Amino acid sequence: MIKALRTSSLGDILGIGLVLFIAVFSLILLIAPSIIVVIISFDTRAFVSFPPEGFTLRWYAEVFEQTELVGAMWTSLKVGLMVTALCIVLGVPTALACVRGKFRGTTALSVFVLVPHMVPGIVLGVAVLFAGALVGVSPSIWLQAVSIAVFIMAVMVRTVQSRLVRLDPALEEAATNLGASSFQSLRTITFPLLLPAILAGAVFTFVEGFDNLSVAIFTHGFRDRPLPVELLALVQYTSTPLVAAVSGVQILLAILALVAVSMSIGLDKVNE
Amino acid sequence: MSDATAFQPPPNARLGEVILDKLVSGRGIWPAVPAIIVLIVVAVVPFIILLSLGFSDIEVARGAIVSQTLSFSHLSNALSDPLYWITFQRSLVLAINTTLLCLLFGYPVAYLFLIGGKWTRRLILILTIAPLLTSGIVRTYAWLVILGGRGVVNSTLMSLGLIDQPLRIMNTHWAVLIGMVQIHLPVMILPLIAVMSRHEGGLMEASANLGASRLGTLRTVILPLSAPGIGTGAALVFTLSYTTFVVPQLLGGGNYLNAATMIYEQVVFSLEWSKGSVSSLILMATCLIVLVIIAMLTNIFTRWTKGRDA
């Protein structure tokens, strides 16, 4: 908070007023579409229109009657979990090596891990599809999960890294000096201290795995289409509030994820 | 317990534990090796293959490559095809406009975060992070609902008697731009907030105590200090909006081709993989060039403001 600002001229007040006006407008802009979608999802009419005419839960019921949609949700759920698991197994040790490593090239390693995330998702997706075709690996739920994991791993590494940097290595040294093996000190000291960062990383990697389109659209299996691919088709070819209901479900999940993040590390730590 | 044994490794350690110990001791590169292998197999090698396919004539049958011969024709065809020029130019202009508008709308939010109290800050974080957790398709769909023929904008304008017939907003480049800006706004706001909250407190109060106005403080103290955040945010928004196909596909209608939708059609529908490779490579190269320009501009901006203070 800034206190005690003086000498407010008219131009000053107008300028700051304009800045704050745009800020409030932007905040409304951020949330308004989601609110409108949720309202639409309860409309009784079979076409999308605003304002709604009545209240019904019909579209929510219909979401769970559509076998393709439910199948796509399961696929995305599986991909999300696979991506998260891969990112934890591969990313957390990498973060350890980047921060605690005593070898030359720790910086190079950190940069190398970031590279796939800097390549546009669509380029990575196309590249993986072509490479797979060349060696005879066709698109599947596995290919999708592995390529999204590679794409998003940087987020896990960076989240864990930023927490690890602030941990005092003396804590582990103390454990080792008291007779613990490296593995024991990692398990009983470092890992519990890193857990909030790993959890936060897990939330973001899961969301990416569940919801990635740019990589998934090229790498998903033809029998198990993930939710974003299914949704894209649905939005293009249907005009009922069904998609709004799917959105309603996703928005609910997003709120749950937000609560999870704010309970594990706190919202304000998210973008460190 | 004697001191002599306390400093020894546990004598009854099993072999598995010893190996595990070596792996996780955190001093060597070993913990990172699995990740490095996966990155090489799933990112580095595929990219080299993408590069090689862009420079060869290939034959694709049943999702597999049958034959491959070296050829530069795809690149030269692409560079002489006006469709490519139009498409990439359109994508570039759209992405740059999106980035600038996101900055215009996002910066004030970050400023409000800086001067706001605890609850303002919490609200801003929730409103910024929540959209990131919902799907891009869902958020684009919302704009279909708002801008469509019977959507919010049209029904409001019609009930106010301002127009008789629904305006055609959907399937225009305005619809695409609006959708792009709203969807990528959070990605601009978060880095700005991160950079600004690093410098809060002392500096701004000092500026105020020295008699600077609020606007003056914003212009001469906060803006220069937030230059790195502007750079990061701009780079993120640019990359995402330059390479997305959801928004153009859904809000632009069938005729609105941008770089990403073109690649998608080449690769998935017409199975012209060499063309798809070349387009992907051009997409990546142009993206990198703009990112380097953004980095240079950020650098110049930072140095210029520093120089002016001195």
Domain-located, residue A208? yes
Q: Are A41 and A247 contacting, i.e. CB atoms less than 8 angstroms apart? A: yes
Give pLDDT, residue B201. Answer: 62
The per-residue pLDDT for B97 is 96
Q: What is the dihedral of CA B168, B169, B170, B172, to 10 degrees?
A: 100
C-alpha–C-alpha distance, residues A201 and A260, integer Å:
11
Residues in A touching B187 (Cβ below 8 Å)? none
Query: Which tops the pLDDT comparison, B44 or A249?
Result: B44
Using DSSP, state whether B57 is helix, strand or coil. Answer: strand
The whole-number pLDDT of residue A24 equals: 95
Q: Which of B64, B183, B200, B88 is nearest to B130 (CA)?
A: B183
Is A233 inside a domain boundary? yes
Whether the per-residue pLDDT at A96 is higher than 60: the answer is: yes
* Average pLDDT along chain B, 310 residues, taken 10 residues at a time: 46 66 69 92 93 80 67 80 91 96 95 88 89 84 84 83 81 89 94 82 67 74 83 94 89 83 89 89 94 92 68
Q: Tokens in use for B270?
A: 């017409």
Contacts of A145 (CB under 8 A, 6+ apart): A78, A79, A82, A83, A86, A209
Q: What is the pLDDT of residue B43?
A: 93
Does B261 reach chain A within 8 Å, measured CB to CB? no
Here the CATH number for the domain that contains residue A96 is: 1.10.3720.10
Residue A29 lies in a domain: no
Per-window interface: A 61-100 vs B, CB < 8 A? 86, 89-91, 93-94, 96-98, 100
Residue B208 has a pLDDT of: 66
Q: Are B243 and A11 inside 8 Å of each other by CB?
A: no
Per-residue confidence (pLDDT) for residue B150, from 0 to 100: 76
Residue A37 falls inside a structural domain: no
Ranked by mean pLDDT, the top range of A116-130, A181-195, B153-167, B189-203 is A116-130
- CA-nearest residue to A232 within chain B is B137
Q: Do B138 and A247 touch (CB under 8 A)?
A: yes
Task: Select from A7, B302, B216 the least CA-distant residue to B310.
Answer: B302
CA distance A56 to B280: 45
Mean pLDDT of A117-143: 91
Residue count of chain A: 272
Q: Are B149 and A270 in contact (CB under 8 A)?
A: no
Q: Mean per-residue pLDDT for A244-255?
A: 85
* Burial bucket for residue B228 (CB in 10 Å: 0-12, 13-18, 19+): middle
- The whole-angstrom separation of Cα A53 and Cα A47 is 11
Give the E-state strand segments of A59-163 in sequence order: none
Q: How many residues does chain B have?
A: 310
Q: Give the contacts of A266 (CB within 8 A, at least 6 positions apart).
A: none
Domain extent for A133 = 60-269
Supply A133's token pair.
């075709």
Summarised one tens digit per residue, pLDDT across range A144-163 is 999 999 999 999 999 999 88
* pLDDT (0 to 100) of residue A43: 85
Give the orientation angle of helix A191-211 with respect to helix A227-237, to 10 degrees.
30
Would you state the pLDDT for residue A272?
44
Does residue A15 fall inside a structural domain?
Answer: no
pLDDT of B307 reads 62
**8 Å CB contact of B267 and A181:** no
Is A142 within 8 Å of chain B by CB? no
Q: Under DSSP, is residue B2 helix (H, G, I), strand (E, B) or coil? A: coil
**For range A191-213, the mean pLDDT:** 89
Task: Give the pLDDT score at B2.
Answer: 44
Residue A7 lies in a domain: no
Q: Among A12-16, A231-235, B19-23, B141-145, where is mean pLDDT lowest?
A: B19-23
Domain-embedded: residue A221:
yes
What is the ipTM score, two decimals?
0.85
With CA atoms as reference, report the closest residue to A124 among A213, A62, A40, A52.
A213
Report if residue A265 sits inside a domain.
yes
Amino acid, res. A194: L
Chain-chain contact of A12 with B214 (C-beta, under 8 angstroms): yes
> For residue A25, which residues of chain B lie inside 8 Å, CB to CB?
105
pLDDT at A31 over 60: yes
Q: Number of structural domains, chain A?
A: 1
Please tell me whether residue A119 adopts helix, strand or coil conformation.
coil
pLDDT of residue A182: 74
A270 in contact with chain B, both atoms CB, cutoff 8 A: yes
Amino acid identity of residue B70, one-letter, is L
pLDDT exceeds 90 at position A253: no
Which H/E stretch holds residue B275? helix B273-309
Place of tokens 């069904």: A242
The mean per-residue pLDDT over the stretch A170-175 comes to 78
Nearest alpha carbon to residue B287 among B212, B229, B237, B215: B237
